[in-house]
Structure 1
Amino acid sequence: MTNKIPNSVIGAVSSVLAEHYYSHSTLNSLFMESGAPGGVPEGNCETKCSSWLRRCNDDSTVDPMQVLGQVIQKFMDLEPDDWNQKIGPGQERIRASLAKNQLTYQMNGFITLAGASPAAKSLADFFKAGDFSSIEAEFERAISQVDRDPHAAITASSAIIEALCKTYIETRQLDMPTMQTIGPLWRVVQQHLGLNIDRTLQDDQKRILQGLASIVDGIGAYRTHIGSAHGRGIEPPKIVVSEARLAVHASHTIVIFVMERWLGAMRSV
C-alpha cells in the first residue's frame, strides 16, 4: 500500500471536515493532535485541511496514512443521527473516495487496503481476541516515535487506552459514559474490574487502581494540552522525551493489566 494520501482523498476529506467542524481552532487541535507536521497553514478551513494533508505527503518524518486515519477517526466513528444529518453522507463521501483508491477505513483510525486479509484488524479486534502481540506492536510503534515526536507518542498511547476501555465496555455490555473521553471511560472499566478475593489485599489493590486512575487522567491531560490550540499559539507545549516515554510505558502497563484480567475472566467462563 502506498504511503501517500491520494489527491482525491485529500479533496474529499478536506471538504467534509471543513464543513463538519467549521472552526479553525478545532481543526488546528485535530491536526496537531494527530501528528501533522509544521505550523498552522494559511487559508480557510478547507484549504487548511488540504495543505496540512499534502504537507504530510511531503514530510519523510511522518506516516501520512497514520495521520490521515487519526484526523478522520473522530468523525468516521460517529453514529449518524437526526440532529446532524450531514454526518452519514460525509462519511460515505470519504469511504467512496478511499474505495476509488483501493483503500478502506476501519474503526479506531486504521486505513488499510480494500479487501486486505483479516490480519489488518482494528485495536478493538486485537482486544477482543486477546492478541497481546499486536497490542505490544502498537506500543512499540508509539515508543519508536518518542525521540522524534513525543507528542505523537503520547497521543497514540492515549488512543490505545481509549480503544481498550470502549471495547471492554461494549463487550461487557456496561453503560457507556456520556463523555467518552479517557477519564470517564477508565472509571467505568475500573469499577468493573474484580478485586483480589483476599480482604487484606483488596485495600492494597484499591490503592494501586487509584494510582492507575491518576495515571490515566494525567495521560489524558497530556493529550489534551498537547493537542489543544487554545492559549498557546501554533506550537504545542514542550515535553521532555523521558516524560513522554514514562507516559507511554505507564499506558502499556495499564492496558496489559486490563487485558490479562479480561482474558482470565473469559477463560473462566
Structure 2
Amino acid sequence: MAKPIPSALLAIVSDIVSTVETHASMDSLFIYAEAPGDPPEGSKHVKAQEWLRNTNKQHPEPLAVVGRIISGYMEDPVMAADYAPPAWTREDEYTLKKRESVRKIETVLANNGLQYRVGGFITGGGLAPSKTLGQLIKGRDMPAIHREFDRATETVEAKPREAVSAASNILESIFKTYIDDNKLTMPDKQDLQPVFKVVRADLGLEPASIVDRDLQRIITGLFSIVDGIGALRTHAGSAHSEGRRGYKLEPRHARLAVNAAHTVATFVMETWDKKVGFRATPPAIKPKGRRPLSFSDLDDDTPF
C-alpha cells in the first residue's frame, strides 16, 4: 500500500496553498497534480485539507500528488534557505511567510523519513538530503544537475509523463535562476518558452548573430527543443490530465525529451560560465566589432 500524506505535511501544505493561491489557482494546481475528485466546498484552507484527505483515501500514490502541488514552492530559487535578496530591496511579509512554510515542509518531510526531489518527487530519505536545484545551479554543481536528469531518466519506463515534467522543471529552474542572478526582467508569463527567450537573448544565442550556417542550424534547433519540451509537458506531461485527445506518450518519447533537455541544460550552463569568465577577464577581450561571428571566433573570448 502506498504511503499516505503525513498529517503534519497535510496541515502545512494546506496552510501554504490557502495563503498563496486564490480559489481558482488552487483548483488548477490540484487538478494539475491529479488530486482525485471535484474541488470540495468551503474556504481555501478547508478545501485544501479536504482535497488532500480525499487524496489519501482515493489516490494510489498520495505522495506523488502532494509532490507536484509543492514543486513550484520548493524549486523557486527565491525560497531557497541560502537566498540573499539584493541589498537595496526589502522582502515583504508575504514572501518571508512563504519561505518559512517551505522550511517547515522540509522539516516535516525529514521528520517522516522523506525528502523532496526535483521534478515534484517525494521519496524515502535513505540518502543524505540533497541541495535544492536552485542551490545546485548557483553553485554550478554540474555533476549534481546531471544526476537530477538521471533521476528523471529512471522514471521514463514506469512514469513517462512525470519524466517529461521533471525535465521541463529542471530547464525552467535553470532559466529562472539565470534571470534572477543576472538581474534581468522576468517575463509576465513564466512558462518555459518565455523565460528561455530572455536567457537566450542575454547569452547572445540569437541565430542572426552567427554567420556559420551549421552552427546557426544547431542553435536554432535548441529553440525547437525547448518549445517542444514545453509543449509536450503541457499536453502530455504529468502537469495536466490527458484530456480528450489522450496523448499516447511512450517511454521512448519521454527518454528523447529528457535527453534533449539535458543537452540544452548543459549547453546553457556552460555558456553561462563562459560568459562570466568572459566578463571577469576584460584584458583578454579581442575587439571584433559588430560583424557576425564565425567558427574562427569561437576561442576563449567568445561566450558560446
**TM-score bracket relative to the smaller structure:** 0.7 to 0.9
Counterpart Cα distance in 2 of 1:244 and 1:86: 37
- Select between 214-223 and 139-148 the one with higher mean Cα deviation: 214-223
- TM-aligned CA deviation for residue 146 of structure 1: 0.4
1:10 maps to what in 2? 10
Matched, 1:22 2:32: no
Counterpart Cα distance in 2 of 1:151 and 1:108: 11
2:71 maps to what in 1? 73
1:143 maps to what in 2? 153
2:165 maps to what in 1? 155
2:135 maps to what in 1? 125
The aligned amino acid for 1:145 is: T
- TM-aligned CA deviation for residue 102 of structure 1: 5.1
1:191 maps to what in 2? 201
2:33 maps to what in 1? 31
Quick one: structure 1 residues 178 and 78, their matched pair in 2 at CA, closer, same or farther if it must change by over 3 Å? farther
- Select between 128-137 and 40-49 the one with higher mean Cα deviation: 40-49
Runs of at least 4 residues off by over 6 Å:
85-88, 104-113
- TM-aligned CA deviation for residue 209 of structure 1: 2.2
Quick one: structure 1 residues 4 and 164, their matched pair in 2 at CA, closer, same or farther if it must change by over 3 Å? same
The aligned amino acid for 1:74 is: G
Whether the aligned pair in 1 keeps the contact of 2:119 and 2:167 (CA below 8 Å) is: no
Quick one: structure 1 residues 94 and 53, their matched pair in 2 at CA, closer, same or farther if it must change by over 3 Å? farther
2:89 maps to what in 1? none
Whether the aligned pair in 2 keeps the contact of 1:126 and 1:134 (CA below 8 Å) is: yes
Quick one: structure 1 residues 86 and 166, their matched pair in 2 at CA, closer, same or farther if it must change by over 3 Å? closer
Quick one: structure 1 residues 171 and 92, their matched pair in 2 at CA, closer, same or farther if it must change by over 3 Å? closer
- TM-aligned CA deviation for residue 5 of structure 1: 4.1
Cα deviation per residue 1:189-225 (whole Å; 9 max; x = unaligned)?
Answer: 11122459x9642x43333222211111111111112
Higher relative contact order (CA 8 A, sep 6+): 1
- TM-aligned CA deviation for residue 228 of structure 1: 2.6
- Segments of 5+ residues of structure 1 without an aligned counterpart are none
Counterpart Cα distance in 2 of 1:25 and 1:97: 21
2:235 maps to what in 1? 225
* 1:85-104 aligned within 5 A: 92=100, 95-96=103-104, 99=107
Give TM-score, length-normalised by structure 2.
Answer: 0.65
Quick one: structure 1 residues 125 and 75, their matched pair in 2 at CA, closer, same or farther if it must change by over 3 Å? closer
Instruction: Give the alignment's Cα RMSD to 1 decimal.
Output: 4.0
Counterpart Cα distance in 2 of 1:249 and 1:110: 19
Give TM-score, length-normalised by structure 1.
Answer: 0.72
- Segments of 5+ residues of structure 2 without an aligned counterpart are 41-46, 80-92, 281-304
Larger radius of gyration: 2
Quick one: structure 1 residues 5 and 98, their matched pair in 2 at CA, closer, same or farther if it must change by over 3 Å? farther
- TM-aligned CA deviation for residue 101 of structure 1: 6.5
Counterpart Cα distance in 2 of 1:184 and 1:139: 22
Counterpart Cα distance in 2 of 1:149 and 1:89: 34
- TM-aligned CA deviation for residue 183 of structure 1: 0.3
The 3-state SS of whatever aligns with 1:120 is coil
| Percent identical | 33
Counterpart Cα distance in 1 of 2:56 and 2:4: 10
Counterpart Cα distance in 1 of 2:117 and 2:163: 21
Counterpart Cα distance in 2 of 1:237 and 1:134: 31
